[in-house]
Each structure stands twice: as C-alpha cells, then as structure tokens.
C-alpha cells in the first residue's frame, strides 16, 4: 500500500506541475474557476518567490538576481542534504582508515541518494521552465517575453541561463541515468527479464510435451525446482528460498532467482533449440491466416534442418539461440508471462535491496522492463512545460503540439502501462486525457471572437473544474470503494454460521416431528411407521461425549442406530436405512 500511495502521489504531482505551467507557456483563456484551480496548482512547482514571506523581498530584485537565486537555491538544499553523509565520512576518516570505514556510511549514502533523487524530480519542471523562459526573446521588441524590462542580450541573464541549462535541464536526467547505472539497475532488470523469458519458454514446452522428462526440474509454470547448485549462484534453490522467505511468503525459484539459460544441460538446450514453437503459438486476431502461413513456413524450414538443426553449435551458441527465441516471442506478444514468473522487483533479494534502498524512488514503481521510465517522464514534462514555449506563441500550432503530445502519451500508456500497480497506471493514463481535454478548450483562445459568444462558458467551466479535481479525488474514491467492499465482505464473514449453527439443507437428513392425531393405538402406529426412512447420522460424532453435550437445533430430532428417535444433530451425514418391522 505504501508503494501504491507514493506512486499515486507522483502521478498527481506530474499532473499539477504540467497544469501550473500552461499559463506561462501558452495563451489559454480558461474560465474563472479553472483559472483558480490552475493558480492553486502552483504549489506543486515549489517556486520560492511565491511564498508570502519571500514575495516582498523578491519584488525589489532584478530578473537576473531572481534567476541566480533560482539556480543556486537547489544546490544549497543538496548541500544540506549531504551534510549528514559528510559528517559520517569525516568520522570514519578520523576514527578509522578511510572515508567510507564508518559503519553508518553506506546507510547515510543511500539516504542521501534517495532524498536527492526525489528532490531533483520535484524541482525539475520549475527549474527547467524558469531557465528556458530566460532564453525566450521577443524579436519584435528585442526583449525577453518573461520580463520586457530585460533586453535579450543581457550578459548576466545569458550566463546564468547557460549554467542552468547545463546543471538542470540536461544535468538532472543525465545524473539520474548515471545513478541507475551506478546501482546496477539495468543489469538487474536484464537478468530478471531474461529469466522470466526463459521460464515462459520452458513452461510452453512443458505444456506442449507433457510426457517429456527433459525438464523434470521445472514445475508446470516453468519454475526451476532443481536441487543442484546453479553455476551463477553460491546457494542452492532451497537455501535461497528460505533466505528470501522473511515475510512469510513463499517465492519460487524462477524469474526471481539467479538461474540462467547457461545453467541448462546440453540435452535441455537441444530440446529447446529444435522444438518448433510456432506450431504451439495459436494465431489470433485478423492476421491469423498470415501468422499461420509464417508458422507453416517456419515448420518447413525446421524440418529441413535450416533453423532447428543445432548440430555443431557450441554451448554458448545454443544459449544465445534459446534466449533469442524467447525474447523474440515475448517482444511479438506471442509469449506472455504468467503471474508466477512475471518479473517484479524483489526487496528480499540482496542485490535489489541495495538498489531499492538507494534509488527506489526512481525505478521501483515502474515495471521491471521500464525501469528507465522516470527519465522519459521527466523529458516529457520538459517538453510540455518548457520546450513547447519556443513554438510560435499565441498560435493554434502551439496548442495542437501540446494536445498531440498528451494524446500520444495517453495512447502509449494505454497500450503499454509503465507503472506496476494497476491503479497508479490507470491514473497515469487518465491525467494525459484530462490535459488533452483542457487544451482542446484552450483552442478557443485563437477562435475568432464572433464564434466565442456561442460557447457556454459556465457549463464548460464546471466541467473542466470537475476534470481537474477528479485527478485528486479519483484515487480516494477508488480507495474508499475498495475499503467498503472489503469491510462488507469481512462483516458478512463474521456473521456466517458457526460450527454448530449450520442448518441442514436437505429434508431427508432429519425427521421432523409431526403432530400426532387419533387414539393412543393410532399414535403408536404413527410412531412406528418409520420403515425405510433415510436418516443422517454420524456414528463417530454420536459416540463422542461432545456430541451428547451439544444442544440440538430446535424442532429437530434424529434417529439413532437402534431406531429410537432422539433430539440431536448430525454434522457429517451418513445415510443408513433403518427398518423397523
């Protein structure tokens, strides 16, 4: 739940940061309520000059001085964040042998990396916008568009803007990419994806050839369950599972293990190389006939020994052939990951734990195969908040570029979600749809005035405000709905019948007493008229003391093996035929 909440907050922050910059980069005539919502979203930009305590001081500063503060303030914050790590390093150097010898140095360094990455992610849109705005020049007046009192060739502004572009606009994405590489995240992701692809391919082979014993060490989901040590691991699968099972959850030795294709035997590799997987991959959709032709041609080439014959190939070449087959089928969407082998980030793995502790805010919310999406997300915000301002201002082309970009992001995310959590992925897709709709209305800024009077501004205002607010309220509504649903289920479960309150569902299990009418002789005959009646009785339960002590359900009687009718219960029914002659 913590990761889902943090992921939702990241998506909401992205939306409000982009929304805040729209009036700065484009001339959009929002209705009053929407304009107010956009104004409130400015808090997401962390613009220090908007703070009440600093706005009065900023009023007396020149534009170049404001720009210098904008560039230097984040550096001062980073220095403050680094001060605990620096203090630990100094203590290690004084008391130990090196700067990194202190016991808490590694933990302090991870905390510094995590906090710095989060801080840079938050400030990136505002810093980029402020820096790029200082380079926008109105050629008609030779003045900066952001402040017409500043000439375009002001040397102080130019120097600070150049420094800002290097440090922030280009520097932050490059720095985060370096951190991902330094923590080994690309290698971890490649290994996990390769293991998942191999497991999926083996699972397909086992389903196609269920009687084959070549992969007896793999279960039905392609999970490796061998007892020998892997060549790429110092632990046996059993030991590793026990080490990773710290939270009471059993994790299979599959895509989360160290097993690789190079650990397969020669016979296993040969089986995978020579097997015709195309026949087992059922064509789907309108291209089924085309895929069927490709499958038949592939089968023909395999039978002729052109693609399936692996005679003479080395072990490494067979491994490469198998992994290429698995990767190509997954890439073509012909082979999908089951839930058991789908690659996910695993905090219990020591290598991944090191990366998650230090840089988890950058990649852990995304799918393994899209660990890099944080960089793409930052670049998309750079385009929507800064670069788009360089397209002709006050023109329909500028708005159309914005709409096309957000629409393209919406379509891409609907086809290939980036976030691992489905709720976060859905909200991420939704915000770009909302931005597209908002800017569609913004096109009215360039519509001739004769057509604007026909628009219902009040209705449109309410609708657009609802869209903006829905980005914040939608996750809350989803959470409340899920919470109420779970609470109702738990309430119904708590009210369910207990051990002795289960009512019988079949009338034949019990003999209900009926009113006796007539004379005494007639009543005696009615009591004895129970010949060939099927009654439910549990011999073991009846003979136990607990069964004798349990109170009977009201109005129910039970026949004993002797034919007498007693009051009681019959928990596990055993039908017997009691005949009284």
* Nearest Cα to Cα of residue 203 among 399, 383, 340: 340
Which residues are CB-contacts of 136 (< 8 A; sequence separation ≥ 6)? Answer: 144, 145, 146, 389, 390
Q: On the CB side of 137, how many CA atoms lie within 13 Å of its CA?
A: 14
Distance CA 150, CA 39 (A): 25
According to DSSP, the residues that pair with 533 across neighbouring strands are: 578
Which residues are CB-contacts of 512 (< 8 A; sequence separation ≥ 6)? Answer: 555, 556, 557
**Burial per residue of 78-113, b for 16 or more beta-carbon CB atoms within 10 angstroms, e otherwise:** eeebbeebeebbebbeeeeeeeeebeebeebbbbbb
Calculate Rg over the CA atoms of the chain.
Answer: 35
According to DSSP, the residues that pair with 565 across neighbouring strands are: 559
Q: What angle do CA 380, 370, 429 make, to 5 degrees?
A: 55
Which residues are CB-contacts of 225 (< 8 A; sequence separation ≥ 6)? Answer: 217, 218, 219, 237, 252, 253
List the structure tokens of 40.
């409130």
User: Structure pTM?
Assistant: 0.65
Distance CA 440, CA 431 (A): 14
Distance CA 388, CA 382 (A): 9
Per-residue model confidence as pLDDT tens for the chain (581 residues): 677 888 888 898 888 888 888 887 777 777 777 777 777 776 766 665 555 555 555 667 888 888 898 899 899 999 999 999 999 998 888 887 788 888 888 889 988 999 999 999 989 988 888 898 888 888 778 888 888 888 888 899 999 999 999 999 999 999 999 999 988 899 888 888 888 888 888 888 877 777 666 676 665 444 454 333 333 333 333 333 333 333 333 333 333 446 677 777 788 888 888 787 776 665 444 444 444 444 444 434 433 333 456 667 788 888 888 888 888 888 877 777 776 677 888 887 777 888 888 888 889 889 998 999 999 999 988 888 888 877 776 667 778 788 888 888 888 898 889 998 888 999 999 999 988 888 877 666 555 554 444 445 555 666 667 777 777 777 777 778 777 877 777 776 655 444 444 444 444 343 444 444 444 444 444 444 444 333 343 444 444 444 444 444 444 444 444 444 444 444 444 444 444 43
């Amino acid at each position: 739940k913590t990761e889902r909440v943090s992921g939702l907050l990241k998506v909401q922050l992205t939306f409000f940061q982009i929304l805040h910059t729209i009036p700065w980069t484009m001339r959009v005539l929002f209705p009053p309520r929407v304009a107010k919502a956009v104004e409130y979203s400015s808090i997401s930009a962390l613009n220090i000059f908007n703070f009440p305590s600093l706005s009065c001081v900023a009023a007396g500063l020149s534009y170049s001085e404001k720009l210098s503060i904008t560039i230097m303030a984040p550096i001062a914050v980073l220095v403050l964040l680094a001060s605990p790590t620096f203090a630990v390093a100094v203590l290690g150097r004084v008391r130990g042998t090196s700067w990194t010898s202190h016991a808490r140095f590694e933990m302090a360094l991870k905390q510094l990396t995590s906090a710095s990455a989060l801080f840079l992610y938050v400030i990136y849109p505002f810093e980029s916008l402020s820096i790029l705005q200082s380079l926008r020049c109105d050629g008609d007046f030779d003045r900066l568009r952001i402040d017409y009192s500043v000439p375009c060739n002001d040397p102080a502004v130019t120097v600070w803007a150049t420094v800002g572009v290097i440090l922030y606009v280009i520097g932050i994405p490059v720095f985060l990419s370096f951190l991902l590489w330094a923590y080994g995240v690309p290698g971890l992701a490649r290994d996990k994806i390769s293991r998942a692809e191999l497991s999926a391919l083996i699972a397909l082979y086992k389903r196609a050839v269920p009687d084959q014993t070549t992969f007896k060490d793999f279960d039905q989901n392609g999970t490796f369950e061998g007892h020998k040590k892997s060549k790429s691991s110092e632990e046996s699968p059993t030991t590793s599972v026990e080490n990773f099972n710290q939270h009471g959850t059993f994790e299979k030795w599959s895509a989360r293990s160290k097993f690789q294709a190079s650990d397969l035997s020669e016979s296993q590799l040969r089986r995978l190389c020579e097997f015709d997987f195309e026949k087992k991959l059922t064509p789907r959709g309108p291209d089924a006939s085309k895929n069927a032709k490709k499958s038949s041609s592939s089968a023909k080439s395999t039978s002729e020994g052109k693609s399936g014959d692996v005679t003479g190939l080395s072990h490494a070449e067979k491994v490469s052939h198998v992994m290429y087959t698995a990767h190509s089928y997954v890439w073509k969407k012909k082979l999908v990951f089951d839930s058991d082998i789908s690659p996910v980030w695993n905090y219990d793995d020591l290598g991944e734990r090191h990366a998650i502790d230090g840089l988890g805010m950058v990649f852990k919310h995304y799918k393994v195969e899209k660990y890099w999406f944080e960089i793409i997300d930052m670049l998309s915000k750079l385009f929507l908040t800064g670069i788009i301002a360089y397209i002709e201002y006050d023109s329909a082309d500028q708005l159309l570029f914005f709409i096309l970009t957000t629409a393209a992001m919406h379509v891409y995310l609907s086809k290939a979600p980036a976030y691992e959590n489905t709720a976060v992925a859905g909200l991420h897709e939704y915000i770009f749809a909302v931005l597209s709709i908002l800017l569609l209305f913004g096109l009215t800024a360039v519509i001739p005035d004769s057509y604007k009077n026909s628009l219902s501004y009040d209705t449109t205002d309410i609708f657009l405000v609802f869209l903006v607010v829905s980005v914040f309220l939608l996750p809350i509504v989803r959470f409340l709905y899920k919470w109420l649903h779970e609470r109702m289920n738990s309430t119904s479960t708590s009210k369910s019948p207990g051990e002795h309150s289960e009512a019988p569902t079949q009338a034949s299990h019990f003999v209900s007493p009926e009113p006796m009418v007539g004379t005494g002789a007639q009543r005696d005959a009615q009591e004895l008229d129970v010949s060939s009646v099927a009654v439910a009785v549990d011999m073991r339960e009846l003979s136990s003391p607990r069964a004798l002590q349990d109170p009977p359900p009201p109005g129910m009687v039970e026949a004993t093996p002797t034919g007498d009718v007693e009051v009681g219960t019959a928990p596990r029914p055993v039908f017997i035929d009691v005949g009284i002659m």
